Amino acid sequence: MNEWQLIIPMSGLGSRFVRAGYTDPKPLITLDGRRLIEWVLRMFPGAEDPIFICRREHIETTPMRSILTDLRPKGRIVVIEGAKLGPVDALLKAEHAIPDDRPALVSYCDYYMHWNYAAFRGAMEAVGAAGAVPCYTGFHPHLMPEKNLYACCRVDGEDRMLEIREKYSFEKDKTQARHSPGVYYFNSGATLKKYGHQLMAREDSLNGEYYASMIFNHLIADGLPVYAPANVNHFCQWGTPQDVDEYHYWTKIAVRIAK
């Protein structure tokens, strides 16, 4: 089996963070002593040659290139003008850099989770998954506000995905649902590209954006096996300034309890 190719689309403007007064691009924001992109890379031990899909403006006006090179010297930085139609648009703008024959692991750049990456790899290779979405369930503070909705998976009794929806929960009690943290597995770069193009050609978007999660419904429609195991033990959501503020709030509570 070829080594998995980690791909991190990080070309968004991060406008909410800009409005909140942050001066660094979102992936470079420091949280608990590490930049967000460092936290992301820590989740995938052994992924030494990630593809970073970056916004030209960030590469030209911030130290993003040198920071990424220091973190992963074997990584590849792909510069795009900025994807206006969401993560899939960014992925396809960089498709020339994505190898067709390696399994592809797409990760967003604004979260952290505790999981067993090696076990996930072994399990998905063993079942011959064409695609997979590791999921978290149970109590997580960011699920408390009713308005906070993420990509949610519906599965059968063997963790095989039946459907995935963005900004949705299949359960009224969100702690009982399976939510995507923002990482998506495809058995090859070719599969990612084929169905990414299909998603956009059919204009299957949400509010004008094409999310990586939405690709899997097209794999499922073609009868391909897609899995969504509940194998993420703990998850931190850092997608907005409010998420970061709430993370600090709950972290302080946890520290006080631990004492």
Average pLDDT score over the chain: 96
Confidence band, pLDDT 50/70/90 cuts, at residue 82: confident
Is residue 255 very low, low, confident or very high in pLDDT (cuts 50, 70, 90)? confident
Q: What is the pLDDT of residue 199?
A: 98
Q: Is the pLDDT of residue 36 over 80?
A: yes
Residue 191 pLDDT exceeds 60: yes
Domain count, the chain: 1
Residue 221 domain boundaries: 5-258
pTM greater than 0.85: yes
Mean pLDDT of 51-65: 98
| Model pLDDT, residue 175 | 96
Cα–chain center distance at 254: 26
Tell me, what's the pLDDT at 1?
A: 53
**pLDDT value for 253:** 87
CA distance 12 to 247: 22
Residue 158's pLDDT is 97
pLDDT at 258: 74
pLDDT above 90 coverage of the chain, percent: 92
Strand intervals (E) in 195-242: 226-227, 234-237
In the predicted model, what is the mean pLDDT of residues 62-70?
98
- pLDDT tens per residue, range 97-154: 999 999 999 999 999 999 999 999 999 999 999 999 999 999 998 999 999 999 999 9
pLDDT tens string 108-124: 999 999 999 999 999 99
pLDDT at 198 (0 to 100): 98
156-194 in b/e form (b: 16+ CB < 10 A) is eeebbbeebbbebbbeeebeebbbbbbbbbbbbbebbbb
* Mean pLDDT to the nearest integer, 211-218: 98
CA-to-CA dists, residue 208 to 51, 53, 85, 110, 202, angstroms? 25, 20, 6, 21, 12
Which of 1-5, 51-55, 165-169 has the least mean pLDDT? Answer: 1-5
CATH number at residue 117: 3.90.550.10
